[in-house]
């Protein structure tokens, strides 16, 4: 019985440390991100700005500065995911990419939720 308690304690500790690491990853992403997106496999050419908050919330802005979507983002190691909902249409979009810490850049694909891949590409850089 003692071995089960030790194993349970170790599993709980590992889960707690993993959760803290993910929280730190999200907090480290906080700030302004700017970049481009595209339809299909075209080279990204349409401007977008994201504001990441330390609590995992995000706000997306158009070139003219208008807020057009709200949502949430997550980090799991170098894997970035997010979902936001358009303020005007109510459509939900999902994004998935790879975070390159040395370039402070995320490259990936986006789609109409729940798909991450059925609409286009994006690249965002931390400002």
Q: Which pLDDT tens digit goes with each residue over 61-117? A: 999 999 999 999 999 999 999 999 999 999 999 999 999 999 999 999 999 999 999
DSSP for 5-69, please give it: HHHHHHHHHHHHHHHHHHHHHHHHH-EEEEEEE-STTSPP-EEEEEEE-TTSEEEEE-TTS-EEE
Q: Greater confidence, 14 or 40?
A: 40
Q: Mean pLDDT score of the chain, rounded to an integer?
A: 87
Cα–Cα dist 12/15, whole Å: 5
Number of domains in the chain: 1
Give the pLDDT confidence score for residue 1 in this predicted structure: 54
pLDDT of residue 23: 56
Question: Which domain covers residue 109, as residue numbers?
Answer: 2-126
CATH number of the domain enclosing 17: 2.40.128.120
Tokens of 29: 């992403």
pLDDT at 3: 55
């Amino acid at each position: 019985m003692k071995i089960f308690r030790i194993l349970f304690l170790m599993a709980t500790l590992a889960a707690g440390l993993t959760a803290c690491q993910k929280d730190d990853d999200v907090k480290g992403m906080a700030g302004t991100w700017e970049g481009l997106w595209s339809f299909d496999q075209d080279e990204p050419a349409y401007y977008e700005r994201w504001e990441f908050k330390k609590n995992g919330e995000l706000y997306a802005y158009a070139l003219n500065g208008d807020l057009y979507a709200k949502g949430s983002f997550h980090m799991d190691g170098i894997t970035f995911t997010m979902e936001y909902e358009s303020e005007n249409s109510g459509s939900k979009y999902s994004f998935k990419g790879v975070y390159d810490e040395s370039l402070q850049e995320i490259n990936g694909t986006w789609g109409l939720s729940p798909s991450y891949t059925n609409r286009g590409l994006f690249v965002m850089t931390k400002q």
